[in-house]
Amino acid sequence: MAGLKVLVVGASVAGPTTAYWLAKAGATVTVIERFPELRTSGQAVDIRLAGVSVMRKMPGMEAQVRAKSTQEEGVSFVREDGRPYGIIRATGNPDQQSLISEFEIFRGDLAMVLYDLTKDNERIKYVFGEQIASMQQSETDDGPITVEFANVLPTSEYDLVVACDGATSRTRAMGLGCGVRDHVFPTNCWTAYFSIKHDLIQGSRIGHGYSAVGGRSVSVGSDPSSGGSRVMLMGVQPRSKGDAALPFRQASLQGDDALKKYLAQHYQGVGWKTDIIIQEMMDAEDFYASEIVQVKLPRLSKGRFVLVGDAGYAAGPTGGGTSLALAGAYMLAGEIGKHPGDLAAGLRGYEERMRPLIKELQKIPPFGLTVLAPQTAWGIWLRNHIFAFVAWAGIAEFAQKHLGAAFASSDTYPLPDYERVD
């Protein structure tokens, strides 16, 4: 791979990780990000399964992730008056996780960890405030890609372009010649994240969850950095209602103010601490919201163009997206390094290695969304009392069995070893 010139698009989790492994294998990498600086907002994400293995192959990453952990020790669903139904805690074993991950970190903090691990690498260059204006592959797909940029970088040729810019990737649309929402599959749910000044759970390290009818969920955790609270709002609608996330999507196209007004109306009068949460949300500066979707592509590359992370295989509500991104970055570099001088063979190897993991971590458990956000008062009652029993009985296996592969043992999906990367 020595001498390979690579362009990586996106400086969130998948981008820096991809740059790290490609540079380690000898490539020269430019990472571009359309925003003027690293984005530090976003939800708490879990590192699980193969993602843990990749993290442990990157010197210093595990220590930094632990240092920036959300520090939640457990999770509880609560009644309208705040009384908990029970608490499920972490297993204490990072190789056998349950609802609570040993490696939970805010997405923005994880992006910063990965950026710090790569920013001083002489083979990696970051350019913020830049995006692709156009790409042109050779007619035979076996030559370099000519990339024209929108802002400061000159038009250049690259041996490989890697899209790491999210589920609604603009780069994917250009590289595959499709629409931005082609290959994007709605799951009829969305989330919003922000911090508020009030400490609504009195410094507890137990996350509190509350559900109201209509698939409306509110989660609150302490924010150690500010002394306030971190909030997640989640809306879930049955698949039978068609594209039920359309009103959310339409509001988001109008900007954060319109989206906040939509959420305020959607959560009006649901009880618990929601009124003060919505009131403070209107002034939240770190507000971030997104529709939860899955991306399913017939293939992960075309010529010298390839996708890593959510741009190629967003996992949706399964909790496996971060692990897929970390594993994908590692295996892309490993497979390319495994086939020196034959980039096409490396990309085929990447596809073959990733497909089983993508298939497994995109499986939405039959009752997964129902557990997170029941639609009816009866459903909420039933979920809460099942949760209370599981918490009382300490049945960690229940979460693993009923909430999907993201909670399996970390050795369920072992990583290959690559001589030219490890």
Give dist(CA 411, CA 182) in Å, integer.
34
For the chain, list the domains and their CATH numbers. 5-70+106-183+296-364 (3.50.50.60), 184-293 (3.30.9.30)
124, containing H or E segment: strand 124-128
- The pLDDT tens digits of the residues spanning 364-399 come to 877 677 777 888 999 999 988 888 888 787 665 555
DSSP readout, 190-225?
A: EEEEEEESS-TTTT-SEEEEEEETTTEEEEEEEETT
Buried b (16+ CB within 10 A) or exposed e, 303-328: bbbbbbbbbbbbbbbbbbbbbbbbbb
Q: Which residues have CB under 8 Å from 342's CB, separation 6+?
A: none
Label residue 140 by pLDDT band (50, 70, 90): confident
> How sure is the predictor about 346, in pLDDT bands with cuts at 50, 70 and 90?
very high
Considering only residues 253 and 365, tell me which one the structure prediction assigns the higher pLDDT.
253
Report the percentage of the chain scoring pLDDT > 70: 89
What are the pLDDT digits (tens) for 224-246? 777 889 999 999 887 766 677 88
Q: Which residue has the tokens 């596809």?
A: 351
**pLDDT at residue 161 greater than cutoff 90:** yes
Give CA–CA dist 308/310, Å, rounded: 7
* DSSP per position, 263-294: HHHHTTT--TTHHHHHHHHTT-TT-EEEEEEE
Predicted confidence band of residue 280 (pLDDT cuts 50, 70, 90): very high
The residue ranking higher by pLDDT, 40 or 95, is: 40
Which residue type does 26 have?
A: G
- When pLDDT is averaged across residues 118-140 and rounded to a whole number, the result is 93
> Cα-atom radius of gyration of the chain, to the nearest Å?
21
Task: Report which of residues 141 and 206 the model is more confident about.
Answer: 206
Residue 317 has pLDDT above 90, yes or no: no
- The arithmetic mean of pLDDT across residues 336-360, rounded, is 93
**So what's the pLDDT on residue 374?**
87
pLDDT for the residue numbered 373: 83
Q: Per the structure block, which two tokens stand in for 53?
A: 């293995």
Question: Can you give the pTM of this predicted structure?
Answer: 0.89
Would you place residue 106 in the very low, low, confident or very high pLDDT band (cuts 50, 70, 90)?
A: confident
What is the average per-residue pLDDT within 135-145?
A: 83
Q: Is the pLDDT of residue 98 over 60?
A: no
What pLDDT is attached to residue 95? 55
The lowest-confidence range among 97-101, 205-209, 279-283, 336-340 is 97-101
Element (H, E) at 135: strand 132-136
Using CA atoms, how far apart are residues 227 and 269, in angstroms rounded to an integer?
26
Q: What is the pLDDT of residue 411?
A: 56
Question: Is residue 275 packed enough to be buried (19+ CB in 10 Å), middle (13-18) or exposed (0-12)?
Answer: middle
Pairing relation of β-strands 5-9 and 28-33? parallel
Q: In what order do the strands lie in the sheet with 288-295?
A: 88-89, 74-77, 206-212, 216-223, 228-236, 184-196, 288-295
| Mean pLDDT for the chain overall | 87
Task: Band the pLDDT of 415: cuts 50, 70, 90.
Answer: confident
Out of 86-100, 237-251, 300-314, 373-387, pick the least confident: 86-100
What confidence tier does 284 reach under pLDDT thresholds 50, 70, 90? very high
Where residue 99 falls among pLDDT bands split at 50, 70, 90? low
Q: Span 189-198, mean pLDDT?
A: 91
Cα separation, 96 vs 90, whole angstroms: 9
**Average pLDDT for residues 92-110, to the nearest whole number?**
68
Residues 6+ apart with CB under 8 A from 283: none
pLDDT value of residue 403: 52
Burial 155-176 (b: 16+ CB within 10 A, else e): eeebbbbbbbbbbbbbbbbbbb
Which has the closest alpha carbon to 110: 33, 17, 194? 17
